[in-house]
Amino acid sequence: MTNRGGTSVSLSIGGEQILVDCGSLAVHRMLEHGVNPTEVETLFFTHHHIDHTADFFQFVISSWSLGRESLTVYGPKGTERFVNAIYDLFEDDIQYREWFGHGAKGIRDIDVVPVDSEFSMSTERWSVSALPVEHSIETYAYRFTETSTGQTCVISGDTRRIDELSEFASDADLLVQDCCLAPTSTDSTFADHIPNRLAGPISDEMRRKHKQNHCDPEDAGSIAAEAGVDRLVLTHLLPNRDHDAMRKKARTVFDGEIEVAADGMCISLDKNN
């Protein structure tokens, strides 16, 4: 869909803004929906596929140019190399901006923290833990908990269905779950703009391959039901998917609240809102 960006989730937790993944248009969507990129000083990568990382360099340089002075990036093996590529690719750009008076703080001192199967951390305001999931490359799900409220959000990353994810998401308020293998919409408006292999029905062979790395609505619903979560958001969508059919299929196994992700969607875990 030409109006959709890549995968990126902004969390407001304990008064801080955290970014999970930084797919295409992430910076534009933050600006459109009132998230100040300069306030994002913590970024987590689930994995390093381009649909989750494409706007990273734009985010780093633009938010620094606008005044951000600190950044810590968490992610799988290779994250440090990914961050260091900023200096290989954009050293002249950075020097040019420094010449205009932008200080080195926030661009020359980016912290990188590796994530593995044992990763967890806590601050005064929030805590996070990681779970290795099963995708084509090293990938992690994250569970974030706000200290003051105990409210919990789990972001699955890209993954096929695994039992460990249900355990990891146990009793979460919100599960943001990969649901790549969704039914195709009968709306043909995308036919002239997007290849049929992306916008049309998935062949048996492609479905077999995708099932090794992604979930369908029934998988997502089953994970949510087994975890006992309150709300399920289906995300990581191919173009031209039937959102009503996705909800109905997930509903066959999960009786909680189900939503299909959209750019700019805002979800509050405050039950009073």
Q: Would the pLDDT of 195 be above 90?
A: no
Q: pLDDT tens digit string along 240-256?
A: 789 999 999 999 999 99
Q: Quick check: is 38 in a domain? A: yes
> Which distant-in-sequence residues (6+ apart) come within 8 Å of 199 by Cβ?
184, 190, 191, 238, 239, 240
Q: Is 251 strand, coil or helix?
A: helix
Q: How many domains does the chain have?
A: 2
59-86 pLDDT per residue, tens: 999 999 999 999 999 999 999 999 999 9
Residue 273 belongs to a domain: no
Are both 256 and 159 inside the same structural domain? yes
> Is residue 117 scored above 80 in pLDDT?
yes
25, 153: one domain: no
Residue 150 shares a structural domain with residue 85: no
Residue 187 forms part of a structural domain: yes
Cα–Cα distance, 56 to 111 (Å, whole number): 15
Q: Using the predicted structure, report yes or no on whether residue 209 has a pLDDT greater than 90.
A: no
Task: Evaluate if residue 272 carries a pLDDT over 60.
Answer: no
- Residues 6+ positions from 146 with CB-CB distance below 8 Å: 13, 14, 125, 126, 152, 269
Residue 52 lies in a domain: yes
DSSP-assigned letters across all residues of 45-112: -S---GGGTTTHHHHHHHHHHHT----EEEESTTHHHHHHHHHHHHHHHHHHHHHTT--STTTS--EE
Domain that holds residue 11: 1-75+77-114
Lowest mean pLDDT: which of 36-50, 76-90, 157-171, 206-220?
Answer: 206-220
Q: Quick count: other Cβ atoms within 10 Å of Cβ 220?
A: 31
**Domain check: are 22 and 91 in the same one?**
yes
Q: Domain for residue 166, yes or no?
A: yes
* CA gap 22, 19 in Å, rounded: 7
Domain match, 128 and 33 both: no
Domain boundary among 94, 114, 134: 114
- Judge if 238 and 212 occupy the same domain: yes
Q: Are residues 156 and 224 in the same domain?
A: yes
pLDDT of res. 199: 56
Domain containing residue 86: CATH number = 3.60.15.10
Give the pLDDT score at 208. Answer: 87
pTM, 2 dp = 0.93
Q: Does any domain span residue 155?
A: yes
Whether residues 94 and 150 share a domain: the answer is: no
CA quadruple 247, 236, 66, 16: dihedral positive or negative?
Answer: positive
Predicted pLDDT of residue 4: 81
Q: Which residues contact 111 (CB under 8 A, 6 or more apart)?
A: 71, 72, 73
Asked whether residue 142 falls in the same domain as residue 11, the answer is no
Alpha carbon separation from 69 to 61, 87, 103, 147 (Å, rounded): 11, 17, 8, 25
Mean pLDDT of all residues belonging to the chain: 92
185: three-class secondary structure by DSSP: coil
- Choose one of 88, 114, 140: the last residue of a domain: 114
- 251 shares a domain with 123: yes
Given a contact cutoff of 8 angstroms between Cβ atoms, the answer to whether 162 and 220 are in contact is no
> What pLDDT is recorded for position 118?
97
User: Could you tell me if residue 172 is inside a domain?
Assistant: yes
Given this model, what pLDDT does residue 200 score? 61
Of 62, 94, 114, the one marking the end of a domain is: 114
